[in-house]
Amino acid sequence: MMAARANPSLLDRLPAPRGTLEAAGSMADFIWFRTGGPAEALFRPADRDDLVTFLAGCPADVPVLPVGVGSNLLVRDGGIDGVVVRLSKGFADVKIEGPTRVRAGAAAMGITVASAARDAGIAGLEFLRGIPGTVGGAVRMNAGAYGRECADILVECTVVHRDGRVETLPASALGYTYRHSELPDGAIVVEALFEGRPGDPAAIGAEMDRIAAEREASQPLRSRTGGSTFKNPDGHKAWQLIDHAGCRGLTIGGAQMSEKHCNFMLNTGGASSAELEQLGEEVRRRVKADSGVELQWEIQRIGNPQTGGRA
């Protein structure tokens, strides 16, 4: 069902899907920071065929951006041009294949995949319990935690290209490095196949419980945050550099570096995306001045600044 057309000039150019297509679709409703402007068009495909048909018929000059649950994303206040694709529950199936493999839809959450692996006695995927995003986002950014990353377990992923072509890529084609992949521009991950090793469900569950307890003790999980703000530079921990530069608890407007884990940035209640980004850049400046290390953003920042808004 299509919502009221805030920008009919774009929606009139787009194919009519079986899923939902909404003009000026709110991103702040589901992005973890709860900030940012709307998507010019927000598309939730009914299934893979719906996504394929839509992309094949979408004009080539219209930008298309896939977004999961927004756990590692900052949407700028001016919103996002073009179409944002948010995969629905139809892309969240998780299935066991053989003794050590798990196939997961791109919209499945990391904890769901880890739990399915545990129940099937498949070890090696426990770290996904500590990743709050979706499979699609984990594959794209080589997400990792607790000493492991997606590159360690991915066998292959299936993507839908910008022109509607469906392709299955081996992990070796993704060019994985730390928190980075070389997935083709415009490709949307729809499924991934992971491989672990035989394990004892009780031991796997105990490791998942340990990860959950460690996250609860060290991270501000109940706050409006975006996870780790900056990547760990070679030979350093980002949080230690931030702490040494005096940025623990640093605040700009409604944005704050967490007192609990100072590589986590918080929306304390009324922050704009501009304030969050400004805070991050100020932290980068202070760390560079203090240690000479130039921090790189891990949070993905997308969209347009708000013209005439807060700086």
Which residues are annotated as catalytic?
Answer: 179, 228, 298
Residue type for position 195: E
Question: Where does 58-157 have alpha helices with state H?
Answer: 110-119, 135-141
> What angle separates helix 110-119 from helix 201-218, to the nearest 10 degrees?
150
The residues, ordered by sequence, that sit 6+ positions from 20 with a Cβ below 8 Å of its Cβ are 1, 2, 3, 42, 43, 44
Task: Tell me the residue ranges of DSSP E strands in the chain.
Answer: 20-25, 39-44, 64-66, 73-75, 80-85, 94-97, 101-105, 122-123, 144-145, 148-149, 154-160, 166-170, 188-195, 197-198, 224-228, 251-252, 255-257, 264-267, 300-302
Rg (CA), the chain: 20
CA 308 to chain centre: 29
SS3 195: strand
Q: In the structure encoding, which two tokens stand for residue 168, read together? A: 């299955």
Q: In the structure encoding, which two tokens stand for residue 216, read together? A: 């609860």
Q: In the structure encoding, which two tokens stand for residue 104, read together? A: 């997961």
Contact 21, 62 (CB under 8 A): no
The residues, ordered by sequence, that sit 6+ positions from 139 with a Cβ below 8 Å of its Cβ are 106, 150, 154, 157, 174, 181, 183, 189, 192
